[in-house]
Amino acid sequence: MRHVIALDVGGTGIKAALVGTEAPPSDGTPARPPVLLHEARRPTGRERGPEAVVDTILDFAAELRDLGAQRYGLPAAAAGVAVPGIIDEADGTAVYAANLGWRDVPLRALLSERLGGVPVALGHDVRTGGLAEGRIGAGKGADRFVFLPLGTGIAAAIGIGGRIEAGAHGSAGEIGHIVVRPQGAPCGCGQRGCLETLASASAVGRAWAAACGDPDATAADAAKAVESGDPRAVAVWQEAVDALADGLVTCLTLLDPRTLIIGGGLAEAGDTLFAPLREAVRRRVTFQPLPPIVPAALGDAAGCLGAGLLARDLLSTEVTA
């Protein structure tokens, strides 16, 4: 079976897959959606240093190459890898990733060499997940959408006409650093009161841990406490929802998306998040059209599926070149 290798690299773990794929037909008929043929995970090993993380990625990809050849009778046709931080997609370089200790890692070239010269696509993790949600997930059919995963931090993928906007310098979509509380807590970016200091899953977890006195409490624990009616949790949750609504209205004002897609760990709370969030945004809009605010459809498979789509796009480019 024709397949590609897909890797989704996070701060602590790597999700990987063999993705069954076909290039879009030459007559313009859309190709069938990619299929996850095999999935695997492993830690990044970042405690061993940035070079060890690169070695882990290369070894993992080589194992998938061998598995695919054995199982499907032919080598992977291409590979796609999604990584956090600042990347240069055109040059194939991971420019900077604080969580991994990377600076100017030529990841595309290293991976292509390890895989015997197959074409490799490098993408930003959130934009890659947004690509998958836009093409085959919750944004399918929307000409303009914003995909906003609420995880350790907050960033967005801006979908326009079937592609994801990277910006002039590769940093489009950094909605997590919109200031929503000017006198708020310091953010790692150097500002105060950034959206991700209040509405990311990690921020909600920290706030609930402080409120309930359990240092190990998480955002998921906060959601459960909200559902049980704990007034402390309700207060923590509402603060996050209000901050997120303020950030989303700024997003609507600037981008006018057809659909807003919310993903990441916080979205797993379902209506505990979406019901108050939709109402908070509705109360804030004035002239802005209010788009549907929907949950992401692909869960934590979005990154791998998006990396597979990036790899498939390389193949379709080769066919039409």
Alpha carbons 160 and 281: distance in angstroms, whole number: 22
The confidence score (pLDDT) of residue 98 equals 76
Q: Among 85, 46, 42, 84, which residue's Cα sits nearest to residue 64?
A: 42
Look up residue 258 and give its two tokens: 């057809």
CB 123 within 8 A of CB 131: yes
Burial of 81 (0-12, 13-18, 19+ CB in 10 A): buried
Provide the pairing of β-strand 293-295 with 259-263: parallel
- Do domains 3-129+300-320 and 141-297 share one topology? The answer is yes
User: Where are the domains positioned within the chain?
Assistant: 3-129+300-320, 141-297
**How many Cβ atoms from other residues are within 10 Å of residue 213's Cβ?**
8
CB 67 within 8 A of CB 117: no
Burial of 94 (0-12, 13-18, 19+ CB in 10 A): buried
CB 34 within 8 A of CB 19: yes
3-state secondary structure of 104: strand
Alpha carbons 180 and 178: distance in angstroms, whole number: 6
The confidence score (pLDDT) of residue 319 equals 44
**pLDDT string in tens for the chain (321-residue length):** 789 999 999 878 899 999 997 655 556 666 677 788 999 999 988 889 999 999 999 999 999 999 999 999 989 999 999 998 888 888 999 988 877 889 999 999 999 999 999 999 999 999 999 999 999 999 999 999 999 999 888 999 999 998 999 888 888 899 999 999 999 999 988 899 999 999 999 999 999 999 999 999 999 999 999 999 999 999 999 999 999 999 999 999 999 999 999 999 899 999 999 999 999 999 999 999 999 999 999 988 899 999 999 999 998 765 443
Look up residue 77 and give its two tokens: 């046709």
The confidence score (pLDDT) of residue 321 equals 38
Alpha carbons 238 and 280: distance in angstroms, whole number: 10
Contact residues for 113 (Cβ-Cβ < 8 A; gap 6+): none
The confidence score (pLDDT) of residue 300 equals 86
Look up residue 39 and give its two tokens: 């999935």
CB 286 within 8 A of CB 108: no
Pick the CATH number of 3-129+300-320 from 1.10.150.20, 1.20.810.10, 3.30.420.40, 3.40.50.880: 3.30.420.40
The confidence score (pLDDT) of residue 317 equals 60
Domain 141-297 coded CATH 3.30.420.40: yes
- Residue 13 gets the label, from left (phi > 0), alpha (psi -120 to 50) or beta, of beta
Contact residues for 84 (Cβ-Cβ < 8 A; gap 6+): 9, 10, 11, 97, 99, 100, 124, 125
Provide the pairing of β-strand 86-88 with 13-20: unpaired
Give me the residue label for tokens 């920290």: 206
Provide the pairing of β-strand 13-20 with 35-43: antiparallel
Alpha carbons 137 and 302: distance in angstroms, whole number: 8
Alpha carbons 78 and 194: distance in angstroms, whole number: 38
Look up residue 255 and give its two tokens: 């981008």
Backbone angles phi, psi at 54, to 5 degrees: -60, -45
For the entire predicted model, the pTM comes to: 0.88
